[in-house]
Amino acid sequence: STRHGGFYTQEEARHIVDYARRRGITVIPEIEMPGHSLAALAAYPELSCTGGSFEVAHGWGVFDDVYCAGNPEVYTFLEGVLDEVMDIFPSPLIHIGGDECPKTRWESCSKCQLEMERNKLKDEHALQSHFITRMERYLNAHGRNIIGWDEILEGGLAPNAAVMSWRGTAGGIQAASMEHEVVMTPGKPLYFDHYQFNPDEEPVAIGGFNSLMDVYAFNPVAGVPAEYHRYILGAQANVWTEYMETSDHVEHMVQPRASALSEVLWLGGKRPGEDAAFRQAMDYHIQRLQAMGWKYAPYEFKKIATDEAQ
C-alpha cells in the first residue's frame, strides 16, 4: 500500500497555472472518466452501477467499479466538475482519461444495458465511446477539446478528440491516420518510472527498462505515413510516482532522460547520424542540472545507429 489523499485548493491550482504560464507552459488537467474513479465513488456511491459502498483504494491498480454510463446523474456530476476545472485551467485541451476502464459492471447493469439499447450500441466498448463523446460535446460547447489515452479509440473515436498513445505507438498511428491530433507517449521508452540502469544499482522502481539511449533513439513519427505527420503534436514522458516518496527520487528518474527527450523533439524526429551532437548537448544539460542542484541519474552513451543503417 502507499500513502494517499491530499489535494490542491483552487487558489493553489491557479498559482500553478500562472507559474507555468509565465514560463511558456500550458497545464492540461486530467479528470479520469469513466474508469479510475473509485475515490469519487467512495464519496458518491450513487454514481456507480451497484450503489456501493466503496473505500478509497490503499494501493494502485485497475478496479471494476467505474462510473455508471447509464445514469444521467453521472453526466450532471461530471459536467459540474468540468465547469470548475475549466474555470481554473484555461488550457484549450482537457484530458478526460478514458484508460483502463473495465466493463464488468456495465455488462450486468440494467441502466447501462438500457442506455446501449436506446442508442443502438453494439457492445460496452461502444458504450464507452458514447460516454466520451457525450463529455466531448459538453466541452466543445464551452470552447474546449478533449484529449484522452488511446483506449478512447475502442468503440469509435469521438469526433474532435486528440489521443495520447501509451500502449505503444499503434494507437497514435491509427488516430493520426484518422486525422486526429496525437501525442506519442509509449511506455517503451517514455515511462520514466521504469528502471534506467541495472536494477541492483538503482532505487526500487515499478519495473521495465528505459535507458537514456532508448529515449534518444525514439522517433515520434516512426511508422506514421508522411501525409499524416502534421497530426503528431509531439511526445510526452510519464512519471508515475507510486514508488517515489521524495522529490530527489523523482529528479533521479526524470533526468537526464527528459533532456534526451527534449533533444529528440527539437530535432523533429530527425536524429544526427552519429552521437557526437548528442554528447555535446548532454554535456550542456548536465552542467545545467548541476547548476540547478538536481539529483539527476548517472548516464552512459552507446553508439546510436542511423535510421539508414537500421
Tell me the per-residue pLDDT of 85-118, one tens digit each, with 9 for 90 and over: 999 999 999 999 999 999 999 999 999 999 999 9
> 3-class DSSP state for residue 262?
helix
Q: Round the average pLDDT of the chain to a whole number and report it.
A: 92
**What does the pLDDT read at residue 273?**
52
**What does the pLDDT read at residue 307?**
43
Question: What distance lies between CA 68 and its chain's CA centroid?
Answer: 23
For the stretch 197-247, pLDDT in tens is 989 989 999 999 999 999 999 999 999 999 999 999 999 999 999 899 899
**What does the pLDDT read at residue 299?**
76
198 contacts: CB under 8 Å, gap ≥ 6: none
- What is the rounded average pLDDT of the residues 49-78? 95
- What is the rounded average pLDDT of the residues 57-80? 95
Q: Taking a C-beta distance cutoff of 8 angstroms, is the pair 79, 138 a contact? A: yes
Superfamily of the domain at 10-246:
Glycosidases (3.20.20.80)
**What does the pLDDT read at residue 303?**
55
Q: Is the model's pLDDT at 262 over the cut of 70?
A: yes
- What is the rounded average pLDDT of the residues 28-51? 97
